[in-house]
Amino acid sequence: MPIEPHDVAEQFARRYAQPPQAVIRAPGRVNLIGEHTDYNDGFVLPLAIDRAIWIALRPRDDRRVAVHSIDYDESREFALDGMTDEKAGWIEYLKATAWSLQQAGLRLAGWEGVLMGDVPLGAGLSSSAALEIAAARAFAKVSNLDWNPAAMAKLGQRAENQWIGVNCGIMDQLISAAGQADHALLIDCRSLETQAVPFPAGTAVVVLDTATRRGLVDSAYNERPSQCEAAAEFFKVPALRDVGLEAFQDHASELDSITARRALHVITENDRTLRAVEAMRRGEVCALGVLMNKSHESLRDDYEVSSDALNAMVESAQAHDACYGARMTGAGFGGCAVALIDAEAAEDFVEKTAADYQQETGNTPAVYVCRATDGASVVEVQ
Ligand code: GLA
């Protein structure tokens, strides 16, 4: 069962013997298509999911932030002045966000409270971005700041890039801040314009967690943006978003083969993402599924960010009759896949795909239908 606002409020009340002043929710995400395109100024199509990071808080007037993590059963504290990176685990994401907001000239107030979540860590469902956006929403609430989802997402991304050290794009923070219930969000990662795209009737989105993990900082993630930059430089454009398939093909042989394959993925993935939006709007679920399958092949063969476990999971999903399409989702190297399926057969799909994957790999997966939810908010407690 997903966490409910009153669960978080209750945890707060246990520690502080009074109700919280506010409860904050910031969701994780799953990306339907448009992978590794965001830092190329391209297009992505994620949805915010019904798994989130939650904070219940009350303001403090001494410019300190004190947080108890229910999941880690750990309390941490920091001052808003003179922060330094102590590589102290989960609290660094809150410090990183405070640093980024203050760097942007925002005047922050302190607060104290509890933190909990049900976004699995390191699974490719953006637990880090959800934590940054939850922190930003908390600071905005106690400091009376305007909540502009795109601007806050940018500051969350900056926290991740500069404090945490992962050169991620804007997708995860923006979908956590700006998601819309029952819709995927087409994001133009250059203009940050978004368009909500409804799911075709009778479909369900399934998250398939391989139960394998790979840390983002130490993985080859940071290598990919540099390879893409090199390709964009070669084509003398600001980002790979600006290279069409024909122009690429005319000159691909002049690039080294790795750079060429990285660029080919990004260029074709942008095109697939825009076509996926058209297919979704027309209710063409089979066409949408084919694009998802092709995206996986491209990530596996050209971008080389999949893994044996992800490939096994995607193949198990694709083998089921109810599956329109499946692919790895998020950064890759482990974590989750996503499938679009016929909602009527969801139970059978979940059971059989999990069993098939487990038999194939020996790993015990977590497979579940997810719902598209709204982005970060201050939630009413009933
Ligand atoms: C991670 C990053 C995102 C994006 C995806 C890959 O989730 O945080 O910015 O690059 O990988 O699409």
How many Å lie between the centroid of ligand 1 and the Cα of residue 20?
Answer: 33
Ligand 1 within 6 A of 46 CB?
no
Angle at 159 between CA 66 and CA 65, to 5 degrees: 10
Please choose from 168, 272, 305 the residue to mutate so as to test ligand 1's pocket, defined by most ligand atoms within 8 A of CB.
Answer: 168
How many Å lie between the centroid of ligand 1 and the Cα of residue 106?
Answer: 27
Instruction: State the closest ligand 1 atom to the C-alpha of 31, by its place in the atom list counted from 1.
Output: 12
Ligand 1 within 6 A of 168 CB?
yes
CA distance 118 to 218: 24
Nearest CA to ligand 1 atom 1: 331
How many Å lie between the centroid of ligand 1 and the Cα of residue 379?
Answer: 27
Ligand 1 within 6 A of 160 CB?
no
3-state secondary structure of 338: strand
State the SS3 of 107-153. Answer: CCCEEEEEEEECCCCCCCCCHHHHHHHHHHHHHHHHCCCCCCHHHHH
The residues, any chain, with a CB within 8 Å of residue 352's CB and separated by 6 or more, are: 320
Please give the chain's pLDDT, 382 residues, in tens.
889 999 999 999 999 999 999 999 999 999 999 999 999 999 999 999 999 999 999 999 999 999 999 999 999 999 999 999 998 899 999 999 999 999 999 999 999 999 999 999 888 999 999 999 999 999 999 999 999 999 999 999 999 999 998 889 999 999 999 999 999 999 999 999 999 999 999 999 999 999 999 765 556 788 999 999 999 999 999 999 999 999 999 999 999 999 999 999 999 999 999 999 999 999 999 999 999 999 999 999 999 999 999 999 999 999 999 999 999 999 999 999 999 999 999 999 999 999 999 999 999 999 999 999 999 999 987 6
How many Å lie between the centroid of ligand 1 and the Cα of residue 163?
Answer: 17
How many Å lie between the centroid of ligand 1 and the Cα of residue 266?
Answer: 13
Question: Would you name the residues annotated as active-site residues?
Answer: 172
- Residue 281 tokens read as 């709007």
**What counts of helices (H) and strands (E) characterise the chain?**
11, 13
Ligand 1 within 6 A of 330 CB?
yes
Please choose from 127, 154, 172 the residue to mutate so as to test ligand 1's pocket, defined by most ligand atoms within 8 A of CB.
Answer: 172
Instruction: State the closest ligand 1 atom to the C-alpha of 129, by its place in the atom list counted from 1.
Output: 8
Instruction: State the closest ligand 1 atom to the C-alpha of 305, by its place in the atom list counted from 1.
Output: 6
